[in-house]
A and B are shown apart, each in its own frame.
Chain A
Amino acid sequence: MELTGKKQIMLTGNKAAAWGARLAGVDYVPAFPITPQTEIVETLSQWFADGHMHGKYTNMDSEHSMFMAAGAAAASGVRVFTASSSQGILYGLEALHTIAGWRVPLVLVNVSRALATPITLEPDHNDVLSLRDTGIIQLHAETAQEVFDYILMAYRIAEDPEVCLPVLVNLDGFYLSFTREPVVIPDEAEVREFLPLFKPSQPVFQASEPMARASAVFGGGNYSYFKIQHHLAAQNVVNIYRKITQEFSDRFGRFYDAVERYRLDDAEYVFVMSNSFATKGKAAVQHLRKNGIKAGLLKLSLLRPFPSQIIAEALAQRPKVAVIDQNLAPGMGGILYPEILKAVYRREDRPQHLLSVIGGLGGRDIRAGDFMNILQRLDEEPGDDPLFLFDEKDLKQFDQLRQIAGFSREARVQ
C-alpha cells in the first residue's frame, strides 16, 4: 500500500509496527511467524518483495536463530528489526540474553500472548515480562499510534552512543494487534530528520578488521564488570529517553513521558496499568469522575529501565492506588506490584493503600464492573492478599468447560 498523502490512516497495531520498521529504513529483518505477530512479518515480506523496502528479509528456522541473526547483523553495523510473541520469545530467550550482552542496537516487537499451559492465543504480559531481566529496554504501547512512534524512538534509544542495547516495543495481541484505529504516518523525509540512516557509533564487524564480541570471561570480577556496566547503561536510558521523547515531540507534536499521568493531579483513587487495557482504565476514570469520584490512572510505558523515581513522584500523595498486573508469578503474585512498592517505599508521602490486583490473564477482559470492585477494595483496610479479577460469570463458564472435559470429582478425587 502507498501512502495517500493523508495525515491519518486506519491501521492495526501490527500494521503500525510494520510501518515503523519500514520508515525506520531497516536493512535486515530476520523473521519467524507466530500468532498474533504474523501480520507484521507478512506485511514486511510483501514490502520487501514489492521494492518498498530495501535490504534483506529472511525467513529463519526458529526464533532462536532469528534473534541470533538479528544480533549478529546488528554487530555488523546494519539497522535490524524483528518481531515475535509468547512461546516464540521464550524459545529465543537464551539468544536474547546473549545479544543484549553483546551491546548491539536493534529493535524487536513483542505482540503479547499469554504463555502455555494451558495454551491460548489471547494476551497477558507474562511473555514480555519474562524478558525483564535480560537488560533489553522495554516500551509498552497502548495505541497503534504509540506502536509506530515508539519504534522510531526505540531506534534512537538503541543506537544512542551511550546505550547500544536492543529495545523492545510491546503491544497486546488482539486488543491492539488486530484492532484498527487512526494512525498518523509521517512521510519518510520527516522521519529521516528525526532518525537518520544508521551510522554505528561503535566498532562493527568489518573485513580486514578482526574483532570478537561474544567473549568468555573467567573470574567473577570480570563478569561483574560487564554486568554492572550493562545495568548502568540501561539505567541511564531514563535520561536518554527524556531527551529523545522531547525531540520527538518537537518534531511530531506527540509527547510521551516514561509514564502517562491521566487525570492524576487531584486523584484519590489511582489505577496503575500498562498496554492496551489502559484504554479501559481511562474510560473507568472518566465514568467515575462524572459521578463525582476523583479517580486517575498512571500508565506505565517505559518498563525497562524501571523509572522508579518518576513513578514515586507521580504516586506521591495519592492515597489509594491499585496496581493492575496482567500477569502472574505463581507463588509470588503480580510482577509489577513489588517493583512499584520498591519505587514508593522510601517516601513518606507514599500511598496509604497500595493494592495488588491481578486480572486480564489470558485475555480475560477487564470489564467496567471490575473497576468498581477495585474501588470497593481500596476503601477497605489494606491487606496482604491480591485481588483476583475472577467473578461468578467466569466460574460458571469454567464449570461448563469442566463438564465437557469429563471432570467428575467422585471418580477422580480420592
Chain B
Amino acid sequence: MLRIRLHGRGGQGIKTASQILGTAAHLAGFQAQDFPLYGAERRGAPIVAYARFSKNIVLERGPVAQPDILLIGDETLLSDPMAAVTQGTDASTLIFINSRHTSQDLKKHYHLESLPVQLDISELCQKYIQKPMILSTALAAVGVRLMGHIDLHHLLQAIREELGQGRINPEKIAANLTLAEEVFQKAPSFDLEFSESDNGFSASRLVILERRPPVDSAPLIFATGNMAQRKTGNWRTHRPVVHNEQCNGCGICYARCPEGDIRMDANDKPVIDYDHCKGCLICVEECPKHAIEIIREVESWN
C-alpha cells in the first residue's frame, strides 16, 4: 500500500489533484482509492485529500493518518498549526512543498524531520495555464513522479479524463498536458516501495463513561462569543491592504464587511483583523476611493 495525503486550500484543485492521481494509478493497473475530506469548507479554507494505491485490494477507508507521501500545494499552511499539515509524518515520509525556497531552507524554517522535495510548481502553472494557484494538474504530476511506477502516458490520460468531465475547453486541457509533461520531467522520481505492513493493531485504552447530570452531558455551550477563537485568517488566498493616505474614512468597508473584521481607529481609518479576515474582498469592491489593494498570500516568509 502507498498512502498519499494532499494539502491545499479550497479552490486550488486539491481534490482534482487526488482524482488525477487515483485515475493515473488505476490506469497503470493498481487498485486505487481517492477521497477528499470536506463538509463545511469553502474557497480558501484548508483542504485535505487522500489517495491509496495497492497491488492488492484496498482494505482501508477514510483519512490517511500516516502518509508515505505528503503533497503540500500551498506553503502558507505549514505555518498554520490548525491545518496540522505534518501530523502523522516522520523522517521516512516523503514531503513535497510547492515553494520558491530551497529544500534546506524549508527544512530549517519549518523544523521538518527530513529534507523535503521542493519545486516551484506555481511558476510552472503561471507559465502554462496562467493561474499560479490552480494546482490540480501540477500537484498530481508531482505525486505520480514521487511515487514512481506510473508512466507519463497514464498521467496524461488521467488528466484528459478528469479535466474532460469539468467542461474545460480543449485548449486549456492541452495546456495542462504540457504543464504535466514539464513537471514530470522536473520532479525527481523515487519509485517508492509498496509496504504491506499493518499499522495500528494495538488496543487503545477504552474509557467507560459514567452517567453525568444533564448540564454535563448535553451539548450546551456557555462560552458566548467564542467564534473569535476560530481563526479563519488562514482561509485567505488574497489579503486586502488599506492605503490610509487614499482613505477618506467613509466607513463603508467597516459597514460592508460580512465578518465584522474591520474596525475604525481614532483617526477614522479602517483596521483589518487579519486573524479572522477570510479574504472575500468585498471591502475592495465597496471602497469608493479604491484605497484597498489586493495582495496574494503566497508564502509565509521572504
Chain A residues at the B interface, C-beta cutoff of 8 Å: 1, 4, 8, 10, 35, 117-118, 121-122, 174-176, 178-182, 276-277, 279-280, 282-284, 286-287, 290, 365, 367-373, 376, 387-395, 404-409, 411-413
A10/B204 contact (C-beta < 8 A), A175-B61, A181-B33 known: no
Residue of B nearest to A175 (CB): B61
Distance between Cα atoms of A178 and B41 in the complex (Å): 14
A407's partner among B165, B198, B216 (CB-CB below 8 A) is: B216
Contact B201 A287 (CB under 8 A): yes
Distance between Cα atoms of A139 and B184 in the complex (Å): 44
Distance between Cα atoms of A406 and B209 in the complex (Å): 21
Contact B213 A413 (CB under 8 A): yes
Residue of B nearest to A369 (CB): B204
Residues of A within 8 A of B26 (CB): 8, 10, 182
B103 to chain A, nearest CB (A): 32
Residue of B nearest to A8 (CB): B26
17 A-B pairs with C-beta separation under 8 A: A1-B165, A4-B161, A10-B22, A10-B23, A122-B39, A179-B34, A180-B19, A180-B34, A182-B32, A280-B59, A280-B60, A365-B63, A370-B203, A372-B203, A388-B206, A405-B223, A409-B216
B129 to chain A, nearest CB (A): 22
B205 at the interface (CB under 8 A from A): yes
Distance between Cα atoms of A395 and B207 in the complex (Å): 8
Residue of A nearest to B49 (CB): A178
A259 to chain B, nearest CB (A): 19
B202 at the interface (CB under 8 A from A): yes
Contact A118 B22 (CB under 8 A): no
B208 at the interface (CB under 8 A from A): yes
Distance between Cα atoms of A10 and B292 in the complex (Å): 45
B81 at the interface (CB under 8 A from A): no
B301 to chain A, nearest CB (A): 29
Residues of A within 8 A of B207 (CB): 390-392, 394-395
Contact A179 B206 (CB under 8 A): no
A283/B33 contact (C-beta < 8 A), A369-B204, A391-B207, A412-B216 known: no
User: 4 closest Cβ contacts across the A-B interface?
Assistant: A406-B223, A406-B222, A283-B59, A372-B203
A365's partner among B37, B62, B199, B219 (CB-CB below 8 A) is: B62
Contact B198 A368 (CB under 8 A): yes
Residue of A nearest to B224 (CB): A406
Distance between Cα atoms of A371 and B201 in the complex (Å): 8
Contact A391 B39 (CB under 8 A): no
Distance between Cα atoms of A290 and B200 in the complex (Å): 15
A174/B59 contact (C-beta < 8 A), A395-B207, A404-B229, A412-B216 known: no
A370/B204 contact (C-beta < 8 A), A283-B60, A390-B209 known: yes
Residues of B within 8 A of A10 (CB): 19, 22-23, 26, 32, 34
> Which DSSP category, helix, strand, loop or mixed, fits chain B's interface?
loop
Contact A180 B204 (CB under 8 A): no
Residues of A within 8 A of B190 (CB): none
Contact A180 B223 (CB under 8 A): no
Distance between Cα atoms of A62 and B194 in the complex (Å): 48
Distance between Cα atoms of A395 and B222 in the complex (Å): 20
B134 to chain A, nearest CB (A): 21
A405/B222 contact (C-beta < 8 A), A392-B204, A413-B216 known: yes
B23 to chain A, nearest CB (A): 5
Residues of A within 8 A of B222 (CB): 405-408, 411-412
Contact A406 B226 (CB under 8 A): yes
B249 at the interface (CB under 8 A from A): no
Which B186-245 residues have C-beta < 8 A from chain A? 198-209, 213, 215-216, 219-224, 226, 229
Interface string of B20-33 (1 = CB under 8 A from A): 00110010000111
B246 to chain A, nearest CB (A): 40
Contact B38 A178 (CB under 8 A): yes
Contact A368 B201 (CB under 8 A): yes
A373/B204 contact (C-beta < 8 A), A1-B165, A10-B34 known: yes
Q: A283-B198, A369-B201, A404-B226 are in contact. List 13 more A-B contacts (CB 8 A).
A: A10-B22, A179-B34, A180-B22, A182-B31, A277-B61, A287-B198, A369-B202, A370-B203, A370-B204, A405-B220, A406-B224, A407-B220, A411-B222
B41 to chain A, nearest CB (A): 11
A146 to chain B, nearest CB (A): 14
A373/B33 contact (C-beta < 8 A), A282-B59, A404-B223 known: no
B35's partner among A180, A393, A413 (CB-CB below 8 A) is: A180
Residues of A within 8 A of B22 (CB): 10, 180
Distance between Cα atoms of A370 and B203 in the complex (Å): 6
Residue of B nearest to A280 (CB): B61
Distance between Cα atoms of A400 and B219 in the complex (Å): 14
Distance between Cα atoms of A133 and B208 in the complex (Å): 31
A276/B203 contact (C-beta < 8 A), A10-B22, A406-B222 known: no
Contact B62 A174 (CB under 8 A): yes
Distance between Cα atoms of A412 and B212 in the complex (Å): 12
Residue of A nearest to B59 (CB): A283
Interface string of B253-264 (1 = CB under 8 A from A): 000000000000
Contact A372 B60 (CB under 8 A): no
Contact B209 A388 (CB under 8 A): yes
A391/B34 contact (C-beta < 8 A), A367-B200, A406-B221 known: no
Most chain A CB inside 10 Å of its own CB: which residue of B33, B61, B62:
B61
Distance between Cα atoms of A175 and B204 in the complex (Å): 22
Residues of B within 8 A of A1 (CB): 164-165
Interface string of B68-83 (1 = CB under 8 A from A): 0000000000000000
Residue of B nearest to A276 (CB): B61
B58 at the interface (CB under 8 A from A): yes
Residues of B within 8 A of A277 (CB): 61
Distance between Cα atoms of A387 and B35 in the complex (Å): 30
Contact A368 B200 (CB under 8 A): yes
Most chain B CB inside 10 Å of its own CB: which residue of A176, A279, A280, A393:
A279
Residues of B within 8 A of A389 (CB): 206
Contact A369 B61 (CB under 8 A): no
Residues of A within 8 A of B38 (CB): 178
B39 to chain A, nearest CB (A): 5
Residues of B within 8 A of A372 (CB): 201-203
Contact A179 B35 (CB under 8 A): yes
Distance between Cα atoms of A390 and B210 in the complex (Å): 12
Residues of B within 8 A of A117 (CB): 219
Interface string of B155-177 (1 = CB under 8 A from A): 00000010011000000000000
Contact B33 A179 (CB under 8 A): yes
